[in-house]
Structure 1
Amino acid sequence: MSSAVRSTLAVWSLLMLSTAASAWGFSLPVIAPVVSTIAVMVVSAIKVGLVMAFFMELRSAPLAWQLTGTLWVAVAASMVVTIYLY
């Protein structure tokens, strides 16, 4: 198995595990709804970053595109959390 296939499989597995962990872990009644919602948003932002980096090949793009993608994810996630809180 090549290095590219291994890294893609590892990232895909991480995405699937984080989805399952978010669905199960943050739905427990011991966690406050606001905390679990914000945690899900943070996990989602990280997952979007991984998809952009590994499946949209952003990690091999020029630095300006990498920074733009990272900034977009950070701003979008921050806006969604801010709108949710207020």
Structure 2
Amino acid sequence: MKMPRTIKRYCPYCKAHTEQEVERVKKKKASELKWGQRRFRKVTAGYGGFPRPKPEGREKPTKRINLRYRCTQCKKANISPCIRAKKFELTE
């Protein structure tokens, strides 16, 4: 899927249609202090096998893509619901 780097869409902060810059949101590193991660570390520590079964089947054909739209006037950003695509590319 190809998408332009700037697009005209509705800005909820300006309450008008403005030019917005599109950027792909990268996944940030998971926090080690979250409860799920603490539980995972506790279960995998020490003697014994891995606590979860290996995922079966192949990889999904499409990946979820999160896009951040930044308004050029108020400089505020908003994120729309993620879309699915095999390939994603920002064009000029």
- The answer to whether TM tops 0.5 is no
By percentage of residues, which structure has more helix?
1
What's the TM-score once normalised by structure 2's chain length?
0.23
Q: Larger strand proportion, structure 1 or 2?
A: 2
Give the TM-score taking structure 1 as reference length. 0.24
Choose between structure 1 and 2 for higher RCO, CA contacts under 8 A separated by at least 6 residues.
2
